[in-house]
Amino acid sequence: MRLGYHSLSKLMSFQSTFLSILLSLCLGTVYGQEEPHDHSHEHRNEMSVATGIVPLPAEDELTIGFHFHYIRGIGESNRFGMGLGFETIVDEHKHYTFSVVVQYRIVGGWIVAYAPGIMIREEGEETLYQLAHHFETAYEFEIGSFHIGPMAEVGVEKIGVHYMVGIHFGIDF
């Protein structure tokens, strides 16, 4: 789906507002906790998927994206985790990124992750390979071994920057 500059500017304003609200909610949760919740028995293995809206400013385009992660908790508390990720952006160029994910559970359900990887992008007959860096934050509301919550991501590649704002779903096992 193609958008003009004015539509893209409105979307970026919406995204800024959404990210501000998300950050406020996360910080409110962090400072509003009276006693820490023990997560040491959880998050040993996590499979998750996120989907969201992806504006591509360099291409003046709005589309959707999906990413999938497997994270293995590290240490006794599993606050740190490492794993593998795959992201795809659904557009005419077919963006795919394979990455190594490093994740940290800050407090409660708030997580941050960094995922360096290789982006594969098809441009007509040519396939391009580029280094990619993804930065993600999410807040998980836990329902037993399942979790769901808002997420935001920034992807930085040689061709530009993309953003994704959406919903994260996961299961711990």
**Which of the four pLDDT bands, split at 50, 70 and 90, describes residue 121?**
confident
Please give the single-letter amino acid code of residue 92.
E
- CB 159, CB 91: distance < 8 Å: no
pLDDT in tens, 59-83: 788 899 999 999 999 988 889 999 9
All domains in the chain, ordered by first residue: 5-33+40-172 (2.40.160.20)
pLDDT in tens, 80-111: 999 999 999 988 777 899 999 999 999 989 99
State the pLDDT at residue 88: 94
State the pLDDT at residue 21: 57
Of 130, 148, 125, give the one whose Cα is nearest residue 50: 148
Whole-angstrom Cα distance, residue 135 to residue 142? Answer: 22
Q: Kindly tell me if the per-residue pLDDT of 2 is higher than 80.
A: no
State the pLDDT at residue 120: 93
**Which of the four pLDDT bands, split at 50, 70 and 90, describes residue 39?**
very low
Residue 16 phi/psi, 5° resolution? -60, -45
Q: Which of 40-49, 50-59, 85-94 has the lowest mean pLDDT?
A: 40-49
Whole-angstrom Cα distance, residue 119 to residue 121? Answer: 6
State the pLDDT at residue 11: 52
State the pLDDT at residue 165: 96
